[in-house]
Amino acid sequence: MVYKFKPILKTLVWGTEKWVLSGVPGCESVVAEGPEAGKTLSEVYGGPFPLLAKFIDAHDDLSIQVHPNDDLAWQRHRKRGKTEMWYVIRSDRGHLLSGFAREVSREEYVRRVADGTIPEVLSRYDIAEGDVFFLPAGRIHAIGGGSYLAEIQQASDVTYRIYDYGRLGLDGKPRELHTELALDAIDWRVEPDYRTRYEHFDNAETPLVQCPCFTTSLFDLTAPVEKDLGGIDSFYMVLCMEGTATVNGCPMEAGEAVLLTRDEPGVRFEPSGHAKLLTSYV
């Protein structure tokens, strides 16, 4: 089966999020149309859905934050951890922060959070359309204003907010920080480059990220393409980032997602002109 779901729109102090396929408990996607309209994602999937897919429109900088891994999140909150990835759809002088630029001790981290200089020791990237960043749980990060991107992540809402530029939330109160909780969640290792490098293919599958939490690919299409799903025994999620297309006959436009259940033996993408699609499965 191919399912479309009602989007979940969230207004935040820095911009907006559009959750197009959510397995987060208490904020599950609901089937939008067809004979099973009104059913939740877990009902049509047959159990807890492991991912959350969203579109993020950042007008202002997001907080500097980190997410715990599965073990720590379960120990503290009885929830999943949060590994995620970003695909930049467009950027208006946008930037991202991802990982430490050099070695930082726990003591320096605490001091820099307190005096507001923590951004100075993070790796900053000016971004453009097509940039990809993989963020395993534990990697300190932030999205900068002027960025519009697609995010695929584990179905978790556990975020440790480290630094938020002293701003107020939509309720006019300071937003809660989790500086101490973050200490045991942070991966302190330093990498030479946090950007995901990949080889781009037109009218074919472009692999982007493969990890235990999800496998994600890009389809940049001007012609129909088919893919055998025989080796995927879970689900197949498709996000439309640009243009319009049909997915096994189901129409999609930019900002939408569809879910193919495991009984679909294959998928056929048919773009109307040019379309960019992001696919993911576990």
Catalytic residues, by residue number, are 161
Q: How far is CA 180 from CA 16, 67, 176, 177, in A?
A: 27, 13, 12, 9
CA distance 36 to 232: 24
- 3-class secondary structure for the chain? CEEEECCEEEEECCEEEEEEEECCCCCCCEECCCCCCCCEHHHHHCCCCCEEEEEEEECCCCCEEECCCHHHHHHHHCCCCCCEEEEEEEECCCEEEEEECCCCCHHHHHHHHHHCCHHHHEEEEECCCCCEEEECCCCCEEECCCEEEEEEEECCCCCEEEECCCCECCCCCECCCCHHHHHCCCCCCCCCCCEECCCCCECCEEEEEECCCCEEEEEEECCCEEEECCCCCCEEEEEEEECEEEECCEEEECCCEEEEECCCCEEEEEECCCEEEEEEEC
Residue 245 contacts residue 268 (beta carbons within 8 Å): no
